[in-house]
Structure 1
Amino acid sequence: MGAGSRSFREEAEAIENLRPGIKLALLLKGAIEVGIAGQTHASESGPSVNLFVSRHEWQLHHRFSSLSSLQYLTLHLDAEAADELLGDADALLPEGMAHHRATCPVAMQAIAEQILNAPYVGVARRLHLAGKALELAALALDTLARPSTNSSVSLATPLEVRRLHELRDRLNRDPANMPGLDRLARDCGMNVRRMTAGFRRLFGQSIGEYLREARLREAWRLLESGLSVTLTAEQVGYTLPHFTTAFRQRFGILPSTLNRSGLEPPGI
């Protein structure tokens, strides 16, 4: 498993030589160009998740733009490890190369950031990371294997896309004071079904999931600034018990430990 952040002053390239097996790559922040050897490079922006599966040795090419930075997490299971964990690895590995991509769901981002900000040391840390890595892999396989439930709903016009982006900006500006879906749909000029299905297709999560994420990220910022846990919970629209539970599930730590931990804010 590899994880961390990187910054580039100048354009750079890298080639990764990989053994047969399964590679999971999460881009949490930033942008990169990637390409499998012999194929055209494609731009990738976070948050996204990519799954590469190969029965043979292969190469992954990376291109980094100048003055860019990214945050990432990668997992690699070679064919032997995949066979031990999953059973019949041969049934999973294609004859050639398979590549699947999706917007990274908020649940996967949460686990990735718990890995990046693991509060343990020694054996406890290794056990924590191993468990979270397996949980992340399971979520990734489920996300990438699941057919889209909204495939019958298309974004027919650029106007709808613009309105959904405006809705996302609104959720980010004031996540604690959002009206119900009926009011949001009226403000967007769309019906509720089209708005909710379009939002999920465009941003990879439901409006409720996105709103919860925005509230908790705002809570992280407020706690880091020195605001008390009680006042932070009120500011982001939670009761105190629910806030403590939601914050710990999202970031892997209690809100009361944030000011003492010295942790970097995850993607805020």
Structure 2
Amino acid sequence: MRGCVRHNPGAVIASNATEASLYELRSSEFFSDHSPVAAGRPPGVDVKPVDLLPGATVSLVSFRNETPVQIAACNDHACVHFSCLFNGPVDVAFGCHALLLEAGHLLTSYAPGERFSLTLPGHYRNVELMITPDTLSDLAGSDYDRIGDDLGRGFCVYRNGHNRRACDAAARLARLIDDATPRRLLIHAAALEFLAWHLGSYQSQEEGGPVSWRERKALLMARERLLLDLSAPPTIAELARETGLNQLKLKRGFKALFGHSIYALFQRERMDRARALLQRYGVTETAMRLGYSNVSHFSAAFRKQFGVLPSEARRGALD
């Protein structure tokens, strides 16, 4: 099964703290109107749960702090969790394995009773839907077949990097929950849309399972090398030689640890840099600074990433 890391995004909900203290939490604490004991949860976390129907709750959790927070978490509900991380990265670990979540990642997990450790950034924001398998089956109909077999095996995790429609639905849902006067019907509708796109992106497959600590170190080094010069990326063969991983492990490791192929991760970072450069430079100079010899190729890549042309971005289309 793809990415069967013992991780529950319901517990990927933490707080701010003045130092990287270790806290022990339960996932259910963040899907209830009852305030948890102050000593059991770091101060300052903002939790906004909304009960949708029996067996389904959505929650928006955020906090802001100068330092990361370490969490020892226990998943105390036999529920499926569908989440979208707005601010990252978040490190998840169990045993000798690790999983890295970044902003924009979707995570689907089912891990009742599992314990895991998390390291969250000082600025954290996450929206998450928790739903029982029975309720999910009733709501999803035939779409439940996408995940039903995996749930029957006892636990699973699938991370999807940057599904635009699901992320857009998550952002709309978060805005509705965060509204000064939340409207339950709109939240309910937005939550169902979020669930539909999220579940639609779910895939069950063996490739992309847990990454060992040794491979994680090599993959982090490979990512650093890949992004060192966005105008002249190394080849996959060069990355493999420099990190000591063969090309197959390198490709699978990028998908498992970062949620993207090597090219997709590079191109995302390249376009994010382009967006920043366009605030200071024209389209042609921005393209040249990022290694494009053909401006039309740069414009096509930028529009594929952001949905607008670079010239439109310069006029404020992405503001």
Fold-level match, TM-score > 0.5? yes
Q: Once the 2 structures are TM-superposed, how far is the Cα of residue 181 of structure 1 from its aligned partner?
A: 1.2
Aligned to 1:50: 107
Structure 1 segment 186-265 matched on structure 2, within 5 A: 186-224=241-279, 226-238=280-292, 239-261=294-316, 263-264=318-319
Q: Once the 2 structures are TM-superposed, how far is the Cα of residue 142 of structure 1 from its aligned partner?
A: 4.8
C-alpha spacing 1:12/1:73, structure 2 compared with 1 (3 Å): closer
Structure 1 segment 163-174 matched on structure 2, within 5 A: 163-174=218-229
When normalised by structure 1's length, the TM-score is: 0.60
Q: Once the 2 structures are TM-superposed, how far is the Cα of residue 87 of structure 1 from its aligned partner?
A: 4.8
Which amino acid letter does the alignment assign opposite residue 44 of structure 2? Answer: E
Q: Once the 2 structures are TM-superposed, how far is the Cα of residue 188 of structure 1 from its aligned partner?
A: 1.2
1:180 aligns with 2:235: yes
Q: Relative to total residues, which structure has the larger helix share, 1 or 2?
A: 1
Aligned to 1:102: 158
C-alpha spacing 1:161/1:45, structure 2 compared with 1 (3 Å): closer
- Once the two structures are overlaid, the 10-residue window that deviates more, 9-18 or 191-200, is 9-18
Structure 1 unaligned runs (5+)? Answer: 1-6, 33-42, 54-64, 118-129
Aligned to 1:127: none
**CA–CA distance in structure 1, aligned partners of residues 283 and 291 of structure 2:** 12
Q: Which residue, 190, 197, 205 being the options, matches 1:147?
A: 205
Checking the alignment, whether the CA contact within 8 Å between 2:159 and 2:259 is kept in structure 1 is yes
1:27 aligns with 2:82: no
Aligned to 2:29: none
**CA–CA distance in structure 1, aligned partners of residues 143 and 212 of structure 2:** 41
Checking the alignment, whether the CA contact within 8 Å between 1:171 and 1:214 is kept in structure 2 is no
- Number of corresponding residues: 217
When normalised by structure 2's length, the TM-score is: 0.51
Q: Once the 2 structures are TM-superposed, how far is the Cα of residue 70 of structure 1 from its aligned partner?
A: 3.3
C-alpha spacing 1:88/1:150, structure 2 compared with 1 (3 Å): closer
C-alpha spacing 1:73/1:249, structure 2 compared with 1 (3 Å): farther
C-alpha spacing 1:191/1:23, structure 2 compared with 1 (3 Å): closer
- The superposition leaves residues 126-153 of structure 1 with CA deviations (integer Å, 9 ceiling, x where unpaired) of xxxx9xx969944x335433313245xx
**CA–CA distance in structure 2, aligned partners of residues 30 and 232 of structure 1:** 27
SS in 2 for 1:197: helix
Structure 2 unaligned runs (5+)? Answer: 1-14, 18-42, 57-79, 91-98, 111-118, 173-188
**CA–CA distance in structure 2, aligned partners of residues 258 and 244 of structure 1:** 11
Which amino acid letter does the alignment assign opposite residue 86 of structure 2? Answer: L
**CA–CA distance in structure 1, aligned partners of residues 232 and 247 of structure 2:** 19
Structure 1 segment 5-84 matched on structure 2, within 5 A: 10-14=43-47, 16=49, 17-19=51-53, 20=55, 24-30=82-88, 46-47=102-103, 48-51=105-108, 68-72=122-126
Aligned-residue CA RMSD (Å): 4.6
SS in 2 for 1:261: coil
SS in 2 for 1:244: helix
Checking the alignment, whether the CA contact within 8 Å between 2:88 and 2:120 is kept in structure 1 is no
**CA–CA distance in structure 2, aligned partners of residues 254 and 246 of structure 1:** 9
Which amino acid letter does the alignment assign opposite residue 46 of structure 1? Answer: E
C-alpha spacing 1:212/1:227, structure 2 compared with 1 (3 Å): same
**CA–CA distance in structure 2, aligned partners of residues 81 and 190 of structure 1:** 40
Checking the alignment, whether the CA contact within 8 Å between 1:26 and 1:104 is kept in structure 2 is no
